Structure 1
Amino acid sequence: MMTLSLIGIGCGDPGQLTRAAIGAINTADLILIPRKGAAKSDLADLRRTICTDVLISGTTRIAEFDLPVRDAGEADYHKGVDDWHDAVAATWSRTIADHLGPGGKVALLIWGDPSLYDSSLRIARRLNPLPEIEVVPGITSIQALCAAHALPLNDIGEPFLVTTGRRLREGGWPEGVDTVVVMLDGGTAFQSLDPEGLQIWWGAYLGMADQIILSGALTEVGPRIVAARQDARERNGWIMDSYILKRRP
């Protein structure tokens, strides 16, 4: 029976690899590296660098594949994601069959962590035949963001909410919390909020050489983040960022 290992590799700094991650990489028969197009070649390069740095097994093979692109024009968001996951699972299956066969151990190096705002586990459960799934946790972008700002995420005895830019833009500030973590924001959803009384801690390319962080009152820092984000996206061809908002009385 095939085993599929989803290995969290942190947010860009190879020093964030755990000993468990290094061990799992070295026991793999096949490592899959997704290519997301020239605009996100940094992520494939990161995975290649990690394999070069930590692989001591002479028998592990590496196979690269082009990741299908989600149809952003699909009116039904959930259907669009569902169809995309089917396409990714089919691509994984073809690549594994081409390079490994029915048995052995396959590894995917997951940027961040396989269990937090990552769809690898959902996609893995669509493979046929269904493999035995192993998860090796890694440093998440939330951990990396808090560490970059030396910020405790929660206030004493208070909850926080993790959400997406789309949900924040469509639903406004969530009820019952004063701290919100925003991920997967394709734009700058914080601009849809009344900035008065809000503090923001923002970071892009966390853990990578191009890391950018900004923080302060949203009324003052918001326009700087918008400008920095646009400049970085034009320079690199892509951007992955997240931020924390806190509402102060």
Structure 2
Amino acid sequence: MIGIGPGNPRQITLEAIDAIAACDVFFLLDKGARVQQLSRARTELLAAYAPAGHRVVVIDDPPRDRDPDDYRAEVQRWHTARVDALETAIIESVDAGQSCAFLVWGDPALYDSTLRLVDQLVARGSVDLEVEVIPGVTSASALTAAHGIVAHGIGEPVLLTTGRRLVDAAVEEPANRIVMLDSHLTFTQTARSDDDVYWGANLGTPEQVLISGKVSDVADEIEQARARLRQQTGWVMDIYLLRRR
């Protein structure tokens, strides 16, 4: 599992470059034409750092219900289908003694399921794998760096969460919340009007967009920018920091 950062090819670490250079086979999950730019970014990294003779194996990503009645059950079903596809790909494409890798957007430990899938595959016992994880620059780090801010006040905690969980946040939630996986921009319904928001989309790419300010002042601007970016590029990966005044 090789973390490659949130989009800027210069944010890949030297450790990740070394890991890419040592691998024989690379797996790419094909999520369709809408996100071809993401696949292209990985392909460019392989062209720059992978060894001669390496192979790329494309795995069709199983379909997923994005609005299920039971979110957790649907994710578990989807993960099982992905493990099945990964198991087949490894058995058919990787010889004994060879190394294979996933290039994971951001960091493998932060809101990415790839490592969890590999753990499930190892537990099946159908293939003998030794797993190594190479950390990557997170989108949270890229967001605060792009805005030139510290994520919290002196000694304050930071809650790292998702838009889905933001709706259920407790009344005494931390003053600083970094929110990922929020295609609905949930803060526009849940945040206080005088909260500060630092929003970024497609961080590290040429299409990067940054907006910050009071929620009441910039919420509409962020919604419009997100819609415009999706129309222009076909995909949006965004993240934001909410700060209580």
Q: Same fold (TM over 0.5)?
A: yes
| 2:173 is the counterpart of 1:179 | no
- Let me know the Cα RMSD of the aligned residues: 1.4
Give the drift of 1:59. Answer: 3.1
* Number of residue pairs matched by the alignment: 241
Give the drift of 1:236. Answer: 1.8
Corresponding position of 1:12: 7
Equivalents in 2 of 1:29, 1:41: separation in Å?
23
Corresponding position of 2:45: 50
2:204 is aligned with what amino acid?
Answer: G
Give the drift of 1:176. Answer: 4.0
Equivalents in 2 of 1:168, 1:73: separation in Å?
17
Structure 2 CA distance for partners of 1:214 and 1:9, relative to 1, 3 Å: same
Between Structure 1 and Structure 2, the one with more strand by share is 1
Equivalents in 2 of 1:27, 1:194: separation in Å?
46
Equivalents in 2 of 1:71, 1:193: separation in Å?
25
| 2:35 is the counterpart of 1:37 | no
Helix, strand or coil at the partner of 1:134: coil
Corresponding position of 1:81: 75
Is the contact between residue 91 and residue 127 of structure 2 (CA under 8 Å) also seen in structure 1?
A: no
Match of 1:231 among 215, 221, 228: 228
Is the contact between residue 31 and residue 62 of structure 1 (CA under 8 Å) also seen in structure 2?
A: yes
1:20 is aligned with what amino acid?
Answer: E
| 2:245 is the counterpart of 1:245 | no
Give per-residue Cα distances to partners, 1:152-176, cap 9 Å, x unaligned.
Answer: 011101111011001113x146524
Corresponding position of 2:144: 146
1:38 is aligned with what amino acid?
Answer: A
| 2:183 is the counterpart of 1:189 | no
Is the contact between residue 173 and residue 193 of structure 1 (CA under 8 Å) also seen in structure 2?
A: no
Percent identity of paired positions between Structure 1 and Structure 2:
39
Write the mapping of 1:146-165 to structure 2, written as runs, cut at 5 A.
146-165=144-163
Give the drift of 1:102. Answer: 4.5
Corresponding position of 2:62: 68
Stretches of structure 1 that go unaligned for 5 or more consecutive residues are 1-5
Give the drift of 1:96. Answer: 1.8
Is the contact between residue 172 and residue 192 of structure 1 (CA under 8 Å) also seen in structure 2?
A: no
Give per-residue Cα distances to partners, 1:7-60, cap 9 Å, x unaligned.
Answer: 0001111111111101111111111112111111111000000001112x2232
Is the contact between residue 191 and residue 215 of structure 2 (CA under 8 Å) also seen in structure 1?
A: no
Structure 2 CA distance for partners of 1:174 and 1:141, relative to 1, 3 Å: farther
Is the contact between residue 64 and residue 74 of structure 2 (CA under 8 Å) also seen in structure 1?
A: yes
Give the drift of 1:73. Answer: 3.8
Corresponding position of 1:115: 109
Stretches of structure 2 that go unaligned for 5 or more consecutive residues are none
2:69 is aligned with what amino acid?
Answer: A
Corresponding position of 2:16: 21
2:176 is aligned with what amino acid?
Answer: T
> Which moved further from structure 2: 185-194 or 17-26?
185-194
1:159 is aligned with what amino acid?
Answer: P
